[in-house]
Amino acid sequence: MTASTIELEVTAADRRIARYAAAAIVLTIAEAAIPSPLPGVKPGLANIVTLIVLWRHGWREAAWVTLLRVLAGSLLVGQFLAPGFWLSLTGALLSLAVLAVASRLPRGLFGPVSHSVLAAFAHIAGQLLLVRLWLVPHDGVFHLVPVFAGAALLFGIVNGLIAAKLMQESKP
């Protein structure tokens, strides 16, 4: 009797997703070392990778890269299944939902910065809702909306510009 072998076809897209996800995970780890004045206010550098993948390879691959990053990133930081993981996941899912729509906007008018800002707002909205429903069941959390929204706008613009710059400098 011979042992049956299962051959998994690895496509070019798979390798690409793995590479991009690895880059995003590195950024997640690097970012975990940056001190934050308020839990939840982070630059979200890994989203630069999501923006680039979205622009170059479409929403499906961007979703893969983002979800792999959330999963593997949380395992490496030791947050898997902890509140931080669920917050990242909720933020990521909401962002991806918004990006699914935003990526259909005409590209001549709306660039990566638009994608980034819209996704950042979706991210923070999802997280605040989860926090309100689960972690801090009181409307008091909404007093922090201006802080989170301001951070989302700032980091959304910065990340979008970085993504646009990187793509401008390295045309595939």
Partner 1 sequence: MKPWLVLLRPGDWLVMLAGLVAVGTSVPLLWRGGSADLAVVKRDGTVVAELPLTAPRKFDVVGPLGTTVIEVQPGRARVARDPSPRQYCVLQGWLTRPNSIAICAPNHVSLQLSGHEGGYDSLNY
List of residues contacting partner 1 (CB under 8 A) = 105-106, 108-114, 117-118, 121, 135-136, 138-140, 142-143, 145-146, 149-150, 152-153, 156-157, 160-161, 164-165, 168
Written as one letter, the residue type at 172 is: P
Nearer Cβ to partner 1, position 17 or 124? 124
Written as one letter, the residue type at 64 is: W
Nearer Cβ to partner 1, position 13 or 133? 133
Nearer Cβ to partner 1, position 62 or 152? 152
36 in helix, strand or coil? coil
Cα–Cα distance measured from residue 52 to residue 20, given in angstroms and rounded to the nearest whole number: 9
Asked whether the beta carbons of 113 and 157 are under 8 A apart, the reply is: yes
CB of 95 to partner 1, least distance (A): 14
CB of 30 to partner 1, least distance (A): 22
Nearer Cβ to partner 1, position 73 or 160? 160
CB of 162 to partner 1, least distance (A): 9
CA nearest 67: which of 17, 122, 13? 17
Cα–Cα distance measured from residue 169 to residue 155, given in angstroms and rounded to the nearest whole number: 21
